[in-house]
Chains A and B, each alone.
Chain A
Amino acid sequence: MKKPMAALLASALATAVVLSGCSSPVGPSTASAGPTGSAGPATPVPSGTSDATIQIGSLYEPQNLDNTAGGGQGVTEAFDGNVYQGLYQLTDAGKVVPLLADSYTVSADGLAYTFTLKRGVTFHSGKALTSADVKASIERVVSPASQSARKSSFEAIAGITTPTPDTVVVTLASRSISFIYNLAYVWIVNKDATVLTTSEDGTGPYVLDKWTRGSSLSLKRWSGYWGTRAANKEVVFNYFTDATALSNALLTNAVDIVTNVQSPDTLSQFEGNPKYVVNNGASTTKELLVFNDRVAPFDKVQVRKAVYSAIDRAKLLNAIWGDKGTLIGSMVPPTDPWYEDLTGVNPYDPTLSKQLLTEAGYPHGFAFTLDTPTYDPHPVVAEFVKSELAKIGVTVKINSITADEWYTKVFQKHDFVATLQEHVNDRDVVWYGDPTFYWGYNNPLVTAWVAAAESATTVDEQTAKLKLVNEQIAKDAASAWLYLYPQIVVASSNVSGYPINGLNSQFPAYAIVKK
């Protein structure tokens, strides 16, 4: 019940922007120590530990097994890189590396990409991978029936041809510097496969063993894998709906790893206990107080800045997550290449807030309704915001709404004044360049910079443009970015090789070993 909107936004806010291929070092590397992030099939497998069963505990069970038919965050977590692979892969360190693609070339105008496929790759059903499968797989994502959150990322695709069995040519209508990055989200599926909602036919190191709905999903190491075989024999994802039940499972060794801890209260049982490792990964999930920038009073920049500066974010973060998490001054998390520390642009300063309100014509404050999703942490954040704003004479009326109502009322109809929401993806600052997005931020300069960044020819150019965007939205307090969530993976200390950053919800398991 906790994550619905987060998941939707998570997967949707992916009009990402990045990189061209293997040469440029775009991805940020993880800031934290801890177990080695698994990099790819090329990762050497530690010896002598190859027959373990890895038990993983997760709150995100797949809806079904097809990521173009509403499978959701859960199927990405279980299958991405494990069962299905893309032409490219986003590593846990945030780099895009070739996987089923051997190499590619781009035409001089940047519109035609020619990919050469790796040889000797077969699907779990035994059929060899050909360019026709790649074409069909991309078409699955962009087809009218597709519910893929990535669909809009591929609007620029004008045509796909397959001149030879191991060559695919994708033609774009306009330049897209993030095209290769986006391809990392496209699973290559056997074009002849059917019933993908309950079975699979991918090229990854594991095959699906059994999915017991409401309970678990197990993957078995596949002996016909084209790359380095998985370091463990079997991986079982155990699904929970209750964070306490999940912690209990870890405490009783029923699971080895918890993929994404969402409840701060459970952490104390593991911290300082030598039997467990609490990993602080690099997070991209931001808690936002979102203004409707179209309507009064939040159409005024001073009012937004006044509200932002009236909230003691450090105190809020500490109240919710203790010493975990990070303060941010804009939409960009430290792992995005265009990050700058902008926390000083709108400092916590109630005196400044009052002054700004007076300038904006609200010397005695005002009242507004805050649409608050009913799941954590929003209700707590709403109460905090309410008490902080009361100090500058602004009255907050908290209106609790379900995730479903939020989607209809706030996201689709834009029928709100302010709301709270978490935005989970990396590189999602680009949404401030879309004036039709739900928050209604409309600055033509920013829109132009975002477009220029996407059609940039170099990563430096793209980065420079998005830094401008970043600085401008902070100056305009387009939204109030309250804090960056921590990304926490807790594991028994006898397992290693698991990913800790959980980028875009994936959880590659093939490098995990158990002592």
Chain B
Amino acid sequence: MTRYLLRRMAILVLSLLLAMLAIFVLLRALPGDPANALLSVQATPEQIAAARSQVGADLPLFEQFVNWFRGMVSLDFGNSFISTLPVAPEIVSRLAVTIPLTLLAFGLAFALSLAVGFIAAHKSDRWYGVALSAFSQLAIAVPAFWVGILLIATFSLKFRIFPAGGFPREGWADPGAALAHLALPVLTVALVMTGSLSRYVRSATLDVLGSDYLRNARAMGSTMGTAMIRHGLRNGAIPVISILGIELATAFLGAVVIEAVFALPGLGSMLLKAIAQHDYPNIQGILFVSTLAVLVIGFVADIAQRLVDPRLRHSAGAA
């Protein structure tokens, strides 16, 4: 296990390095010049040159990369080209919206998926089992932003239960208000995620229900509940855990769209604006954080899977 951990971590670091290089090179390949966004129309060539040197855009590419890399290692993400303000504190303040949004949505989707998936599989001969299957198909098909718009139209504009968007000025100092503002975005992400996740839970449940070990356990006198918890859960969890990691990463990245719909000051809305303005330090900082998050989630999912499934542990030990 230790060897596996070390190897898995080396892969993580290497992936991160490659991703950083790719981000840096691809951004520089885009047409346009960040100095343009900085200046007004009657800027002289001298002003443009001054602006470029002020943000370090005049240095050779390699030097820019080394500078950026050095900054990243010491968690100094540099200053925005456009606002001249440091990138890191803004990312941190944006994460205070995006991380709770992602985790709450994920938690809710997880709970919903277990229920929906299990019932859809176990009660596939009842009308509500079929209805839940149909629901998950539908949830996969509709785009998240559309769900968001529908929820706003219903719960904000019509019934005035939740705010239509934005995030309180006081942030999490008033948790009630913050949660109220996150309610609809969380529900949006969770509903869409439940669509695909519950399909996996459903098929895992069907596998378990049709399995020999479950039949044997029942034959040996175990009740259905006990058999499911003692044997079914662990076996069924294996395929679901690997998909959970992917779903969590998708939710984090999918926040870009949802934050725009709900006017939330999260990482996604920051990214959209930074891209529009060619604000390289901001884009690089955000992509670095997102890449890191996705890689770490993948890492944790892999470890979790090995903990649950002894077969994987032993094959790694043998290798």
Contacts and interface: CB of A to CB of B under 8 A. Distances in A.
A248 B265 contact: no
Given A249-B263, A251-B157, A408-B33, A215 B84 contact: no
Contact of A215 (B43, B82, B265): B265
Interface stretch (A179-187, A233-241, A454-462, A473-481): A233-241
A405 B276 CA distance: 12
Interface in B94-134: 94
Contacts of A148: 40
Interface stretch (B164-172, B197-205, B225-233, B294-302): B164-172
A397 interface: no
Interface string A220-244: 0000000000000000101011101
B83 A63 contact: yes
A408 B33 CA distance: 8
Interface string A63-107: 110000110000000000000000000000000000000000000
Contacts of B51: 147
Interface stretch (B211-219, B246-254, B267-275): B267-275
A216 to B, nearest CB: 5
Contacts of A145: 50
Contacts of A147: 38-40, 43, 47, 51
Given A12-B42, A64-B83, A215 B261 contact: no
Contacts of B277: 4
B243 interface: no
Contact of A241 (B32, B156, B269): B269
B301 to A, nearest CB: 30
B83 A197 contact: yes
B261 A197 contact: no
B36 interface: yes
A330 B263 CA distance: 39
Contact of A213 (B160, B164, B265): B265
Interface in A47-71: 63-64, 69-70
A301 to B, nearest CB: 26
Given A238-B166, A248-B165, A214 B269 contact: yes
B93 A12 contact: no
A245 B270 contact: no
A248 B157 contact: yes
Contacts of A213: 83, 85, 90, 93, 265
Contact of A252 (B84, B156, B272): B156
B278 A404 contact: yes
B37 interface: yes
A110 B286 CA distance: 54
Interface residues of A, number: 46
B77 interface: no
Contact of B164 (A241, A245, A411): A245
B167 A215 contact: yes
Interface centre among B47, B51, B166 (most CB of A within 10 A): B166
B269 A408 contact: no
B152 A9 contact: no
Contacts of A405: 31-32
B280 interface: no
Contacts of B163: 252, 254
Contacts of B160: 252
A272 interface: no
Interface string B142-177: 000000010010001100100111110101000000
Contacts of A236: 169
Interface in A1-17: 1, 4, 8-9, 11-13
Interface in B170-195: 171
A404 B32 contact: yes
Centre residue among B32, B40, B51 by max chain A CB count within 10 A? B40
A249 B85 contact: no
A249 B166 contact: yes
Contacts of A63: 82-83
Contacts of A238: 166
A238 B157 CA distance: 19
B164 A407 contact: no
B179 to A, nearest CB: 16
B261 A245 contact: yes
Contact of B37 (A4, A11, A12, A64): A4
B36 A407 contact: yes
Nearest to B160: A252
B165 A404 contact: no
B52 to A, nearest CB: 13
Contacts of A463: none
B36 A404 contact: yes
A231 to B, nearest CB: 21
A242 B261 contact: yes
Interface in A400-421: 402, 404-405, 407-408, 411
Given A70-B82, A213-B93, A214-B265, A249 B276 contact: no
B162 to A, nearest CB: 9
B24 interface: no
A149 interface: yes
Interface in B64-101: 82-85, 90, 93-94
A387 interface: no
Contact of B41 (A69, A212, A402, A411): A411
B236 to A, nearest CB: 40
B260 interface: yes
A404 B38 CA distance: 11
Contacts of A151: 40, 42
A70 B38 contact: yes
A120 interface: no
A273 interface: no
Nearest to A1: B276
Nearest to A148: B40
Contacts of A149: 40-42
For A152, A248, A407, A408, the residue with the greatest tally of chain B CB atoms inside 10 Å of its CB is: A248
B164 A249 contact: yes
Given A245-B164, A245-B262, A248-B164, A8 B83 contact: no
Nearest to A404: B32
Contacts of A274: none
A203 interface: no
6 contacts: A149-B41, A151-B42, A212-B171, A213-B85, A214-B273, A254-B166
Given A70-B38, A70-B84, 14 more contacts: A1-B272, A8-B40, A13-B41, A147-B38, A147-B39, A198-B85, A212-B169, A215-B169, A216-B166, A245-B164, A248-B156, A254-B165, A404-B31, A408-B33
Interface of B: 31-33, 36-43, 46-47, 50-51, 82-85, 90, 93-94, 149, 152, 156-157, 160, 163-167, 169, 171, 260-263, 265-266, 269-270, 272-273, 276-278
The 4 closest A-B pairs by CB, nearest first: A214-B265, A248-B164, A215-B265, A149-B40
